Amino acid sequence: MSDFFSAGWGYYIAAISLIGIAWCLWLLWSQRKTTVQLKPDGSVDDTTGHVWDGDLRELNNPLPRWWAWMFILACVFGLAYLVLYPGLGTYKGTLQYTTRDALAKQQAEVEASVRPLYAKYMQMDVPAIAKDSQAREIGQRLFLNYCAQCHGSDAGGSKGFPNLTDGDWLYGGEPDTITQSILKGRNGIMPPFAAQLDGSKAGDVAQYVRSLSGLPADPIRVARGEPLYKANCVACHGAGGKGNQALGAPNLSDRTWLYGSSERTIVETILKGRNNVMPAHEEILTPEKVRMISAYVWGLSNGAAR
């Protein structure tokens, strides 16, 4: 398929290709004979007249036959190719070949060839797959391919990207929840509170949040922050900050932080909110791959490798 908006470009490219080939053939035709010069004494001069380095003369020989035939064959090949394959602007070629179809066919073949390898695992439950060392290797390779760019090659995460090895889950660590996270993706939305809380109130709430996990906090500001927390945050993070996996609202009373535990970072979350996206993978991964990766991820925090 052509990516050009106007058909004119298709004709333009087709014309250049065809004129190019025609020009090559004309060139060959026009050079098929050599014009022989005669020397002043009437004998045949078999050089072109070029002389350099004193006595090097260029001979004026006709093109070798084999060379002329290769030239013609190359032109015939080019024309045949342009009939069979897409090459002339928007013309699709008699074989209807597209690289997109070829890729899809290749991928389908590879998937069919690896399916028997996965078949045995599709019968097993996730904890059993996670204990299988060969399955873990496959899972790890898939994870490195599809997940490591965000979650890190050791699945340890980074700011905004959850650690998948610590047993602390935003949405839940059951095999089914992990599979769901992979298939459908996730979107953690924390609304901004800049309209309800100013900077100093947000700071007081942040002090209260820090106190929930036993981090050093100013007791006076904690006391000021507590009612504000109860008025604004309990609906999602729960009394005591235990979080809510149905909403992906993090537990604020443990020492695991998605963004960080400093007052500044917490205030930033409160005032600006957060909108964090894990992309859905159901269109990208086959069911077999999803199962292998789910088992690998489940195993990371359930001691499967030990």
Q: Which residues bind ligand HEC (CB under 6 A)?
A: 146-147, 149-151, 160-162, 164, 169-171, 178, 181-182, 186-191, 193, 205, 209, 229, 232-233, 235-237, 247-250, 252, 257-259, 266, 269-270, 274, 276-279, 281, 293, 297
- For ligand HEC, which is the closer residue by CB, 88 or 300? 300
- For ligand HEC, which is the closer residue by CB, 114 or 247? 247
Tokens representing 47 are 């050089």
Minimum CB separation of residue 130 from ligand HEC in Å reads 13
Other beta carbons within 10 Å of 275: 11
- For ligand HEC, which is the closer residue by CB, 88 or 293? 293
Minimum CB separation of residue 196 from ligand HEC in Å reads 8
Measured CA to CA, the distance from residue 277 to residue 274 in angstroms comes to 10
Minimum CB separation of residue 211 from ligand HEC in Å reads 12
**Whole-number CA gyration radius for the chain:** 36
Minimum CB separation of residue 142 from ligand HEC in Å reads 7
Residue keyed to tokens 């340890």: 156
- For ligand HEC, which is the closer residue by CB, 44 or 246? 246
Tokens representing 111 are 């998937």
Tokens representing 213 are 């996990």
Tokens representing 221 are 């500001």
For 121, counting Cβ atoms within 10 Å of its Cβ (0-12 exposed, 13-18 middle, 19+ buried), the class is buried
Minimum CB separation of residue 106 from ligand HEC in Å reads 22
Q: Which residue is nearest to ligand HEC (CB)?
A: 188
- For ligand HEC, which is the closer residue by CB, 61 or 187? 187
- For ligand HEC, which is the closer residue by CB, 86 or 238? 238
For 205, counting Cβ atoms within 10 Å of its Cβ (0-12 exposed, 13-18 middle, 19+ buried), the class is buried
Minimum CB separation of residue 284 from ligand HEC in Å reads 8
Three state DSSP letters for 155-209: CCCECCECCCCCCCCCCCCCHHHHHHHHHHCEEEEECCCCCCCCHHHHHHHHHHH
- For ligand HEC, which is the closer residue by CB, 90 or 245? 245
Measured CA to CA, the distance from residue 164 to residue 258 in angstroms comes to 11
- For ligand HEC, which is the closer residue by CB, 89 or 291? 291
Minimum CB separation of residue 217 from ligand HEC in Å reads 13
Do 230 and 239 touch, CB atoms closer than 8 A? yes
- Angle at CA of residue 61, ends 58 and 62, nearest 5°: 140
Minimum CB separation of residue 97 from ligand HEC in Å reads 32
Measured CA to CA, the distance from residue 172 to residue 65 in angstroms comes to 76
